Each structure stands twice: as structure tokens, then as C-alpha cells.
Structure 1
């Protein structure tokens, strides 16, 4: 009966269905169970956690929320090392997931302790598989994702004689060759930058490779994987031809660049729409557009997982909470509140998501667009421990150095040296 209710709820995407299935564990334990959950930035869980406690009178949940992801994850690994202090449910951003999977012995296998009716079929396959360690243990239930599309300035395209309709621009973003060729044309006609920074483009290209900076046996591949160097050469060459605005992502100059038309295109995960609107401002509504196309076919930037550390004194109750929060109906509620794009198959088929439009981007059906992009992602990229740190602190800073005058070869040597230090 419970399995049938959960299936019906997932199809209908209405609130409360899975919660009705979940009760009992806390009552079987003979009293109140106090759980804690740790998250960062904005997951949209405040109202959901209050709802969960109403539906489960024997459960109380304390929510520890940190403003920034960097300090949050630093504390996470400190508490892991000390074997104390972690919450019962711990959120992990996908950029740090490889480091967590390398310590998977400190986390519970959710396929063993989670509700039986929570199966792989709930999630996009690539999202589910990315939450597993090398032995096949499921360490995290997927929350949101960041499927990639391309944002661009319609008015700047029109001024350069390029097509500007969201359907008409798709051929410009059909492949990386097409993207950089269009960039050359744009620079030639306008003398202005095509994209924001070398690092943002390199990261997108790199994340489409089957493996990241490490091989599946966790050997550093910075020099053995020729595709990494090829992407480096391609991006730095485009930057040298004037395509980069040389802006460090999330800096004040980068923020103001959206308003000042400092670049014509932007790699756009679903959550980037909110950034564009906030930074470009209401005066640029209708000038920015987004299309369901991305060079190389598709990709993902962002998203998180809910894990249950072995430090938890109530692992099964914690897994049940994590399962409920990542059910499609709860993820739709989080999406409507915060814009976090769900990774659950039934949520991606929900009219509440598919009918979502964005007036700022010309009334585009943004929910439908990003659901389409999410399905274009194939297999998850293998990332070894330290992979995220190499991308964030090594390749990005080395590309900035190239933009400021270092040669591509000099920048690449910085990458090799920095990656080797992290891999030791």
C-alpha cells in the first residue's frame, strides 16, 4: 500500500504523499527523536522542515544553515576528521562530492538504511549514479541540479548582425567550434568581448569530459589526458583573439558586467537566471535571452546531495528525512520557493515546473527549457579527491594569469604544478 501511495504521489506531484508512508520509525523507538540537518546558502527547506515535523509528531528537526558553501564544507571535513559534531543529515555540494566519496566509509549507504520505496527510478540516472562511491554504495540522495543552457544579449547580437531569436541562435551554440567561430565574428564586427572569462568557458568544456583531473583509479591525469590540454589551448586561443572580457566570476566587476554589456554570452545553469536578473537589473529586462542549447550537447553546473554520516545516532530516521526532502513533491515546493531545479524524474514532468515562465527573459518557458537540458546530460564525470579544488584554485587562477599577460604555456605549467601539490 505504501509503495502504491508513493508512486501515485510522484506521478501527481502533490504534497504529503510520501510523508504518509514514512511514519512509524520514531514511534517504534518509543519517544521523541531529535534530528539535525546542515545546509548552506538556500535550499528552501524552512517550510518543508516545519511540514515534516507536523506530519511526524515524534520527530523534531534542528536546521543548521550556513551562508556560504566554502566555509560550510571546510567545517564538514574538519568534523569528519574529528569524528564528531556533524548533523544527522548533511548537505554536500557537487563540487565537494568527490572528496566526500573518498571518505565514504564515514557515511551510511542509503540503499541499505533508507526507505525501501526510494529507488534509483526517482532520479535522473546521471544524478543518482554520481552519488555512489567506487563500491556502489549510495552516499547521497540528490537534491537539485544545474543543467546548462546558454544566455545571451539579444540587443548585442542584433547590433552585430547575428540572429537573436532563441530558436534561431541555436546553431551558434551547436558545438564549441560553432561557438568560438560566432565569437570571432562578433569580435570582428563589434570589437567587444564574446564571453566573460576564459575560466568559465574552460570549466564548462572540462566538465563534459568522461573523467576529470583524475583517472578512475585516482591517478592525476592533468598531463596524461590530452583532452584537458586541448581544451586549455582552445580557450586561451579564443581569449587571445579578444573573445574574453577578463572578468573573474562573482567579482564586483563581473557582477556589473551584466549591466554594462561587458560580454554577449554567458554559460547559464538554471540558477544563473537569478544572477542575471539581479545583476543586470530591471532596466535590461528583455535584453537578455536564454535558449535550450549548449555547446557539446549539455552539461551540469551545481546541485547537491543529502548524506547521513555514521556519526548520526538516528541513521534510519535521518535517511527517512533525507528521502522525504528529496521526494519530487518536496523538490517542486523548493523550486517554486528558491528556483533550485529538481533532479527527480516526476518533478521534471510536473506541470508546475513545465509551465513556469520567466518574463525577464521574454516569457520563455524556463522550467520546460531546463528540464530538456537536464535530460541531455549523459553519464556523470568521474572526479577524484581534490578535483574540485584543482578547478577552483588552480585552473581558474592560472587562466586569469593568462588573461593578464602570462603565456598559455606559462599558465599551463602553473596548472601542472598546482594540481600535483593537491594530488600528493
Structure 2
């Protein structure tokens, strides 16, 4: 064998020995602001995998979901990695278009003990297998305008002691400042229906997938308090994520807002940046603990680079350095338990008047129940909101409204 042939053979053997994901370009589909998570990850990931290129395709939320739906249905133009909000995880799992990460070679179950329990439960399908990895969580909290409460002679304890004291506080705030307690009756309903849930109990469906709406005290009380707030004039008719919602924060019209801890970043950076120092955060009323939002990454079942894609998804979800970097960049609360012990958790937050609120949010995350998701959660939410509107604005009987909601959800779920 001459020298040239030997060199050619040696080169071929070396090439064969390289990892199969060398010189691969991964396409990652995401949306604002989750896309900044990917942007933060790229330089860190390149240090570990210099031969892997990350191509980020970012679309607005609705366009992102529509594009993924079309791509999964047609198996055309699929990304290698797809970012998902919690509200769409169940739907995409049910479509059958996501890779099962529980099985070999991924064996994602090895990561379970490292991830916040309730977010892990949200990544499971009806069969108990895992189809996505959580990258951030939204422990529920109550944001409130301390200056408005002070003017009305209302304390934080009035907001948190009970639902009755919360409503009473709203009446005082409205009388003294003109501000609404909540932007809309829907907001109050959303707080209550997430209260007092147990591990394994869904918001709208039981373990067998049957709706649990009619005759459920959780929904009856939620509707009752929402109607009381509307009748008392302490709930506005301001829809979340609307221009009016942002204006409500900017012009002292909304005194409290229950939401995921991530709302702090939204308030500080674009919803109401000029209101810094006026807001505070506290636990939800009556000792409730709930989850609002959360982000996940999944892999299409027909991705052409599954192994490489999983390495990147695992990096986003289980690499402490990346989780902390994303937390500092996006103010997205880390799903990785090890990242929740970072010293930045104890830093005072200027927007919240120097409050060390992250410590409270971290504790709240430990108490949030593990609530399974259902592919029809979004359908049920829309139906419930429609019935609530009929109750608070048209005087419909609460029990009748919930019975109609139950029947409608059952009908829609059978389709």
C-alpha cells in the first residue's frame, strides 16, 4: 500500500470515528421572548459543540403555532427543535407528532429528579411518557401596587388572608383611588380555579379525561367571586395582552395582577417600565399555590437530526449555566432545581422596590401541585370564559352556566 493510499484510508477511518452530529445545522423554531433563550444558549453551546450550528427561526406566537401545526401535519419543513408554551404542549402531544423522549436513546427520565416536579408532569402525555423538556416555569404570584394600597389603607395581608378580604380590599382601593382590583372578572376566576388542587388533579379534567366542571365548588366559587367583583365595580373589562391592559398598568388603573413570576420582567421592560418601585409581589389569596405558564422544547418525531436535537434540548433544560443565563436574560424562572439555588435568587429587585421576591417564588414553586395537562384544556378554557361572560354581564345562573359548560366541553372533546 503506497503512502497516498495509506493517508486516504487513515482519513476515511478518522472521519468514520467522528460523532454523527459533527458539522450539523439544527433548526430551532421559537417565538418572542422565548427565542432569547436560544440566543443566549448559542455561544455557550458552541463551546461544547463547536461543529454544531444553530439556526433560529422566530415567529410571533400565533404564526409560530400555525406554522408548527402545518409542518407536523405535512411532515414538510419541520424544524429539529420546537419551542412550546404550556398551553399548546398537550395539543401537540396529542397530535402524535412529537418524539417520545422517555425511550432509548434519550431516556429523559434520568433528568426527572433534577427538574421542578410540576413542570415535569406538564410534559407528559396521557400514557405517562415524556414528550418535551421544561426550560422555565411560572410559579403563581400576586403583583400589587403598594402605593395604591397605601392610599386606600389596605395591607398586603388584606390581599392574602382570604378571598373575602381580597374582595373587600378591592372595594376600598376602588373608592380611594379609582383603580380596579383586577383587570377583568376572568382574572379572578383564573386565580380561584387553580386553587386547592391536588397532585394528579387537572384544572378542567380528571385523570380519565372527563370534565369536572358542573357541580364543582371550585368553579362555582370562582364564578361567584368573579360576579361579586363585577357587580361591585372592582373588576374592569380589560383583556390580558391587549393595548388596554398595558395602558391599565401605565395609568394606575389596575391594582393587582395574579400571574406567573415572569410578569415582573414584562412589567419592568415593556408593559409599565415607568412604574418601577411602585409594585410588589405576594402569595396568592387564602394560601393558594398555582402555576401560570412555562416553556418547553420538543422534537418532531420526523426530525432528521434527533440525537443532535436532544443534546441541545437537554442543554437548554438541564445545564445549570444555561438555565441561570436565561434567567438573568429573560427573567424566566428556571425549571432546573440546581439553578434555583443561584445567589441571584436573593438579589433585590429594583422594579419591586428592592423586594427579594425570587425567594418567595422559589418557595411557591415547591408547593405547586403536579397538575396533568389535557389536549382539550384550551377548549375548556374558552368555553368557561364564554359562560363566565354570560354570568357576569347577562345575569345567567351560575349552576346553569357550569352545566352548559360541562356539556359543551364533553361535546367538543369527543370530536
Alignment-derived partner of residue 216 in structure 1: 207
Indicate which of 30, 40, 45 corresponds to 1:39: 30
1:395 aligns with 2:408: no
Question: Offset of 1:217 from its aligned partner?
Answer: 1.9
Gaps of 5+ in 1: 1-23, 164-168
Provide Cα deviations, 1:28-68, integer angstroms capped at 9, x if missing partner.
32852232211111222213123323421332222111222
Q: Which residue number corresponds to residue 347 of structure 2?
A: 356
For 2:74 and 2:297, locate their aligned partners in 1 and report how far apart those are by CA, in whole Å: 20
Are the counterparts in 2 of residues 26 and 32 from structure 1 also a CA contact under 8 Å? no
Q: Who is 1:311 aligned against?
A: 302
Aligned to 2:170: 183
User: Aligned pair in 2 of structure 1 residues 40, 254: CA closer, same or farther (>3 Å)?
Assistant: same
- Aligned counterparts of 2:17 and 2:338: Cα–Cα separation in 1: 28
Equivalent in the alignment of 1:3:
none
Structure 1 residue 57 and structure 2 residue 47: aligned?
Answer: no
**Structure 2 length normalisation: TM-score?**
0.84
Confirm or deny that 1:174 pairs with 2:161.
yes
Structure of greater Rg: 2
1:146 counterpart = 2:135: no
Q: Does 1:240 align with 2:231?
A: yes
From 119, 124, 131, give the equivalent of 1:127.
Answer: 119
Task: Tell whether the 8 Å contact from 2:387 to 2:405 is kept in structure 1 after alignment.
Answer: yes
Matched residues, number: 391
**What is the DSSP-based 3-state SS (H/G/I as helix, E as strand, rest coil) of the residue aligned with 1:239?**
helix
Deviations 1:138-188 (A, max 9, x none): 11111111111111111221221112xxxxx14531343432243344446
Question: Are the aligned partners of 2:122 and 2:373 in contact in 1 as well (CA < 8 Å)?
Answer: no
Alignment gaps of 5+ in structure 2: 1-14
For structure 1, which segment, 402-411 or 270-279, has the greater mean C-alpha deviation from structure 2 after superposition?
402-411
Query: Which residue number corresponds to residue 67 of structure 1?
Result: 60
Distance 2:402 2:210 in 1: 19
CA distance in 1, matches of 2:182, 2:339: 32
- Shift >6 Å, 4+ stretches: none
In 1: Cα distance, 2:47 partner to 2:170 partner: 54
Using the size of structure 1 for normalisation, the TM-score is: 0.82
* Number of the residue aligned with 1:155: 147
What is the SS of the residue equivalent to 1:113? coil
Q: How far is 1:25 from its partner?
A: 12
- What's the offset of the Cα at 1:123? 0.7
Q: Tell me how far 1:403 sits from its aligned partner.
A: 4.9
2:376 is aligned to 386
Q: Distance in 2 between matches of 1:86 and 1:323?
A: 19
Rounded Cα–Cα distance in structure 1 between residues aligned with 2:340 and 2:377 = 29
Give the 3 Å change call, closer, same or farther, for CA 32–149 of structure 1 in structure 2. same
Query: Displacement of 1:93 after TM fit?
Result: 0.9
Distance in 2 between residues matched to 1:346 and 1:128, nearest whole Å: 15
For the residues of structure 1 that align with 2:173 and 2:19, how far apart are their CA atoms? 66
